[in-house]
């Protein structure tokens, strides 16, 4: 069980909760913080001072005073009017992660939210009441407003309490209204008042959650990319000099040094490496430490930014130590949007250099003696096309990544009658990163598969050849799941299974990941 304190949630914690459905609980200190801030909010709300979102309207209507008698209606209208997201539903793991990020933000005790709302969110996570949240409509600036409002529909109980207005939920593999799902799970719904609605929806929560999950996936992809590189080096009898320790030290970039170290280890003991007479290899092989290393440095940077963001209070206004609400802009998603853009560029490059290695494996003029398109020559070229079209797929995915990686955080359109005149576009940056991670996972799957086939064909040329210590482990894992086929087959069916094993939390993927740890 993960204890939520408001200050030390890790990306690993988030993955455990979102992907592996680990339970959560609020720490005793966080409970005190939430309760104390709520009591202070009630006192301040009863004063004559104008406090944004508590006794005023929202956005462009912030100069309109609202009586406390209208507070429940104000909160109900906020959730109802803002729940306007569209598009296909987000994956469940993203929604779970976002709910936990929001819980953690409220647990800091700076929001003045009703404690029952936080505890209800915890119950929903633990009992698997996961709202259906659309994937389009957020700018990630005032927060992921429309997406979080969709979550709010499930929790909110208003006077009418219409079943059709309570959102949608997948609960126990059944599509239900929010009201029905909460009843079945034994979780009470709540009337919102004061700052409840604003505290729930104000913050780039989904943007941060998606980017956090992608940081974790990026770490795994880097390991797997190193293994794919190792197999490609073996298949094409690559040179080892480019990974020499002294060369890396001369550049003095930590990520590059670490990647080269891993490559040296994984190919150690190979008789295929350095077995031919080329002086040096193409960039996609020789410069892999420099490219993969730069990606590792970027991932480390984004990890630091997002680790702070998932422990931040991001609604507005926030309660200060002086027992006063202060209006600010912590909801603005610029740090998240820029971080997601940086990682998008990095992961796109990981896929791009992998696609170049796949291309070389296919071309008999570039692959150091392997058959064209990795056709098993004993079965006949022409009659068989080999795995030619897998490279087409990799190229298409790499090209799509290049479009998706165009920075979103530099694009802005004003909203709310220019009160919100600079928006972060953080959610689009995050969701495009998510797509890039999926595409790159598939590209690396193609390289692993293609390079393994290349090794089979290389062994026909050199039957006494041996793989490196690490590459042998990777190759054996792949061949256990995917035996060699000489003739053409439905490679599409084969690769779809490979993709799923790589995208899901499978033993196959975890074993691959663990080889370099």
Catalytically active residues, by annotation: 52, 82, 202, 283, 286, 331, 420
Contacts of 480 (CB under 8 A, 6+ apart): none
Contacts of 199 (CB under 8 A, 6+ apart): 106, 111, 112, 113, 117, 315
Handedness of CA 433, 435, 441, 447 (dihedral sign): negative
How far apart are alpha carbons 406 and 413 in whole angstroms? 17
How far apart are alpha carbons 454 and 7 in whole angstroms? 49
CB 124 within 8 A of CB 149: no
CB 227 within 8 A of CB 452: no
The maximal CA–CA distance of the chain, rounded, in angstroms, is 88
Structure tokens at 39: 């009591």
Among 478, 506, 438, CA closest to 228: 478
Q: List, in sequence order, the alpha helices (H) in 8-63.
A: 11-20, 28-45
Q: Which residue has the tokens 């005032």?
A: 142
Structure tokens at 367: 């692959």
Among 432, 423, 431, CA closest to 141: 423
How far apart are alpha carbons 485 and 449 in whole angstroms? 12
Handedness of CA 224, 226, 232, 237 (dihedral sign): negative
Output b/e per residue, 454-468; b: 16+ Cβ within 10 A: bbbbbbeeeeebebb
CB 207 within 8 A of CB 429: yes
How far apart are alpha carbons 413 and 432 in whole angstroms? 18
CB 52 within 8 A of CB 74: no
CB atoms within 10 A of CB 193: 19
E strand or H helix that includes residue 453: helix 426-461
């Amino acid at each position: 069980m993960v204890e939520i304190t408001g200050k030390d949630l890790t990306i690993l914690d988030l993955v455990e909760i979102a992907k592996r459905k680990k339970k959560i609980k609020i720490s005793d200190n966080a409970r005190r913080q939430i309760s104390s801030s709520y009591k202070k909010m009630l006192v301040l709300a009863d004063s004559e001072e104008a406090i944004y979102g508590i006794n005023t309207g929202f956005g462009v209507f912030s100069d309109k005073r609202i009586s406390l008698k209208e507070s429940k209606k104000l909160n109900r209208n906020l959730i109802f009017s803002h729940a306007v997201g569209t598009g296909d539903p987000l994956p469940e793991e993203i929604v779970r992660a976002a709910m936990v990020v929001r819980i953690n933000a409220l647990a800091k005790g700076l929001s003045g939210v009703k404690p029952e709302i936080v505890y209800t969110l915890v119950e929903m996570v633990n009992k698997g009441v996961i709202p259906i949240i659309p994937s389009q409509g957020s700018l990630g600036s005032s927060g992921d407003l429309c997406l979080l409002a969709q979550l709010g529909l499930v929790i909110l109980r208003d006077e009418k309490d219409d079943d059709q207005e309570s959102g949608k939920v997948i609960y126990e593999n059944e599509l239900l209204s929010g009201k029905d799902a909460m009843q079945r799970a034994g979780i009470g719904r709540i009337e919102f008042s004061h700052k409840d609605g604003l505290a729930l929806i104000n913050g780039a929560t989904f943007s941060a959650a998606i980017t956090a999950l992608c940081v974790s996936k990026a770490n795994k992809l880097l390991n797997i990319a190193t293994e794919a590189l190792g197999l490609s080096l073996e298949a094409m009898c690559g040179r080892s000099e480019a990974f020499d320790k002294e060369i890396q030290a001369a550049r003095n970039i930590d990520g590059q040094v670490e990647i080269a170290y891993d490559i040296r280890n994984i190919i150690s003991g190979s008789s295929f490496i350095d077995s031919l007479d080329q002086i040096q290899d193409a960039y996609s092989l020789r410069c892999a430490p420099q490219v993969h290393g730069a990606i590792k440095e970027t991932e480390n940077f984004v990890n630091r930014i997002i680790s702070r963001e998932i422990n931040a209070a991001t609604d507005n206004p926030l309660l200060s130590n002086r027992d006063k609400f202060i209006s600010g802009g912590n909801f603005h998603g610029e740090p998240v949007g820029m971080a997601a853009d940086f990682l998008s560029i990095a992961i796109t490059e990981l896929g791009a250099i992998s696609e170049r290695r796949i291309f070389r494996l296919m071309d008999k003029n570039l692959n150091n003696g392997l058959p064209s398109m990795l056709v098993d020559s004993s079965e006949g070229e022409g009659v068989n096309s080999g795995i030619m079209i897998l490279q087409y797929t990799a190229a298409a995915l790499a090209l799509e990544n290049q479009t998706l990686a165009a920075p979103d955080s530099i694009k802005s359109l004003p909203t709310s009658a220019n009160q919100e005149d600079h928006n972060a576009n953080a959610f689009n940056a995050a969701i495009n990163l998510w797509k890039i991670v999926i595409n790159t996972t598939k590209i690396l799957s193609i390289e692993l598969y293609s390079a393994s086939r290349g090794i089979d064909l290389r062994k026909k040329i050199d039957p006494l050849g041996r793989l490196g210590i690490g590459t042998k482990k990777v190759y054996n894992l792949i061949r256990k799941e995917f035996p060699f086929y000489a003739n053409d087959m439905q490679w599409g069916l084969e690769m779809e299974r490979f993709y799923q094993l790589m995208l899901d939390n499978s033993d196959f993927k975890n074993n691959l990941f663990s080889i370099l740890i």
